[in-house]
Amino acid sequence: MLTEDRIPHLHAVVLAGGSGTRFWPLSRELAPKQFVSIFGGVSLITRAVARIAPVVDAGGVHVLTNERLLDELRNHLSAQQALEGVAIDYLAEPVPRNTAPAIALAAAYLSRLDPDAVMVVLPSDHLLEDGEVWHRVLRVAAQVAEDGRLVTIGLEPDRPETGYGYIRLGAPLPGRAEGDVAAHEVAAFVEKPDRATAERYLADGGYLWNSGMLVARADAVLRELEAVGAGHIAKTARTLAARPPAEWVSHEARALFEQLEAEPFDTAVLEKSSAVAVVPARLAWSDVGSLVALSMVAPPDERGNVLVGNVVDVGSEGLIAYSADRLVATLGLKDLLVVDTADATLVAPKDRAQDVRLVVDALKARGAKEVVEPRSSLRPWGSWTLLVKGAGFQVKTIEVLPHRRLSLQSHAHRSEHWVVVAGEALVERDGETVSLRPGESAFIPVGMRHRLTNAGDAPLKIVEIAVGDYLGEDDIVRYEDDWAR
């Protein structure tokens, strides 16, 4: 899409604070579902940002997350080639309080940034078809939003789905259409139906899947919060938005935001407001709500099995099996999920996929680190993978992209030993720089300022052995950084 096709005053708010517990073990607290890249090799949040960036006004992409995930999210998106040249405004809400307070805070912030702002609120972890239909839907929704309405985007169903909420279509809105895309009144919001009801909805027509996407003027969001009796949310949002975003995670801001009830925007506002409209969209869409979504990654075999990665099966039926690396062999299984990662494996009946969060709860109760972080993590300069970790030591592989470098940094609790495996490394230690080739190494004592650079045209690969009494990723002091972390 050309820059002249951007919609004036349109701002995207990408909600990216969820932890994706139903997608464990592929999803972790520090690398949640929106980071997953098995659907076409690009992460879900990268797809979400790339899908909306050409449509919004210049500088109009805002990613709203939580404080804990903020740096990981910035690292992840900064490493995505698909987003080169896209300016992203990163925001952290004070504490998680579901989508009603989050959207209110974003609306108050955008109202100060641009008094004519129209916001499109997007989940960061959905699959959605891009293209001209999507652009028409956004243009129609933005036109209706200019009238002061809160506009939802509903997906035309192609099957009797029981996992989604529905929207019942009302009368068309006169003069609000472009081609075959037209806005309607909302007759009702309908909760997730049983199978028979979902089949009736599909047969009758006039029902849409509720996608969770919203288009509205920022000031209209705040006004409707007040109109439906949730003015305290709007007031709190305005109070916080009057401060710089860096102060939203202060103790005072947390205390203020924590008083708000955790409530979805749909139930807090949309189901009560008289100013709601819907734009139906005929687009391929999935909320990637559970691990059953892995069935979209590959076609099923003759027995209905979907096998992804390094998987060998004999005699199973209706199986979904995924392995990121090591060999997984299955024999004579039926209607099961098998998901294997470097440090955790899940086996469950497919019809219990929505209950995977119960496993996460059990793991949290025992303090399992496998809930929090994955073995590999993207960084703006490349990536690292944890190979082994024991008492007082850990071993990683580190890959640095061509002509990129890590920050100038030091560690208070660990020393590091770097061994070059491939490429040529420039290692800076307390102001002195040495060049290392494969097989050569450098030692970084505790507290020493250091930096690793790949000055070559090929990836630099090293093995890092860290030794210390604390090995957390937060043991780092940055003095210079190309990505302003």
Domain boundaries, the chain: 3-286, 291-365, 380-480
pLDDT confidence of residue 164: 92
- Taking domain 3-286, whether its CATH number is 3.40.50.300 is answered by no
**Spatial separation of the C-alpha atoms in residues 441 and 427, rounded to whole Å:** 10
**Hey, which residues does 363 pair with through a beta bridge?**
none
* Distant-in-sequence, close-in-space partners of 166: CB < 8 Å, separation ≥ 6: 157, 189, 190, 192, 193, 201, 207, 208, 209, 210
Region class of 150: left (phi > 0), else alpha (psi between -120 and 50), else beta? beta
Tell whether domain 380-480 is in CATH 3.40.50.11860: no
Residue 161's contacts (CB-CB under 8 Å, 6 or more residues apart) are 198, 209
CB burial of residue 164 (10 Å; 0-12, 13-18, 19+): buried
Per-residue pLDDT at 2 = 39
**Dist CA 141 CA 132 (whole Å):** 14
pLDDT at residue number 307: 97
- Give the integer Cα–Cα distance in Å for 161 and 197: 10
| Alpha carbons 485 and 481: distance in angstroms, whole number | 6
Helices and strands (H, E) in the chain, number of each type: 10, 26
CA distances from 20 to 16, 41, 191, 217 (A): 10, 19, 21, 29
Can you say how many angstroms the Cα of residue 270 is from the centroid of all Cα atoms in its chain?
A: 23
Per-residue pLDDT of the chain (485 residues; tens, 9 = 90+): 334 578 999 999 999 998 889 999 999 998 899 999 999 889 999 999 999 999 998 889 999 999 989 988 988 898 888 998 899 999 999 999 999 999 999 999 999 999 999 999 999 999 999 999 999 999 999 999 999 999 999 999 999 999 899 999 999 999 888 989 999 999 999 999 999 999 999 999 999 999 999 999 999 999 999 999 999 999 999 999 999 999 999 999 999 999 999 999 999 999 999 999 999 999 999 999 999 999 999 999 999 999 999 999 999 999 999 998 899 999 999 999 999 998 999 999 999 999 999 999 999 999 998 999 888 887 889 989 999 999 999 999 999 999 999 999 999 999 999 999 999 999 999 999 999 999 999 999 999 999 999 989 999 999 999 999 999 888 999 999 987 77
pTM of the model: 0.87
